[in-house]
Amino acid sequence: MRQIILDTETTGLEAERGHRVIEVGCLEIVNRRRTGRTFHRYLRPDREVDPGAIRVHGLTNEFLAGQPRFAEIATEFLEFVAGAELVIHNAAFDVAFLNAELKRLQPPPGLITDRCSVLDTLLLARKMHPGQRNSLDALCKRYSVDNSHRELHGALLDAQILLDVYLAMTGGQGALTLGELVEATTTATTTVSRAKRPAGTLQVPRASGEEAALHEATLLVIDKASDGKTLWRVLPTAD
């Protein structure tokens, strides 16, 4: 499965009021493995960046004045994301801005959702952790993802952080690249020795009725928190 982890930075918060995309950052993964392919561009917005936005991402009007316009990179961007699932935190925001940029092109090439499906990790996090804070920073803390190097927001940097968070949310071990997995396998030195079996009859303790009831109650709590998606409720039990 091909996925693109995507983030944008903008001149302000509202695409419908003419605010523009000024940075796009994308990382490609296939079957949960980094491929090393990225797409990253700063963009000239042809309008002033809100002071509040500059405090968030640090991208000044002077710096952006020398960057290409979205129309100049649109074809390359659309080719990069075509056919992939876009993984975006608070996808409604980024998708609205990307669609606004695409509508300005002549001729308009359609919406971003005409070319890609979208997975919103904010909605996923809210389902997994109802009633909790689910900002990217909060998820980094929850899943022990290091974001200490993130002094300012940046599209590519935030996409890299989101990738680690997404892999941790949906499986964890997928955060290892194929190269990292091979290196970890080939460099690790492990000595395996057979344990001696003690003499005597093997003792198999059984749970008491009270312990079994407490165990079942705990399973019910976990099952409820996962919306009934726990494997022990879905898969048939062995006789």
Which tens digits make up the pLDDT trace of 72-94? 999 999 999 999 999 999 999 99
Contact 94, 158 (CB under 8 A): no
Question: How high is the pLDDT of residue 174?
Answer: 41
Of 40, 129, 153, 215, the active-site residue reads 153
Question: How high is the pLDDT of residue 187?
Answer: 39
From the options 3.30.420.10, 3.30.2020.30, 3.40.47.10, 3.90.180.10, give the CATH code of 2-178: 3.30.420.10
If we measure between CA atoms, which residue out of 49, 46, 28 comes closest to residue 38? 28
* Spans of all domains in the chain: 2-178
Question: How high is the pLDDT of residue 158?
Answer: 95
Q: What is the per-residue DSSP string for 119-179? A: EEHHHHHHHHSTTS--SHHHHHHHTT---TT-SS--HHHHHHHHHHHHHHHTTSGGGS-HH
Residue 153: active-site member? yes
Question: How high is the pLDDT of residue 215?
Answer: 75
Ranges of the chain with pLDDT below 50: 173-193, 238-239
Contact 32, 39 (CB under 8 A): no
Torsion angle defined by CA atoms of residues 159, 161, 167 and 169, in that order, rounded to the nearest 10 degrees? -110
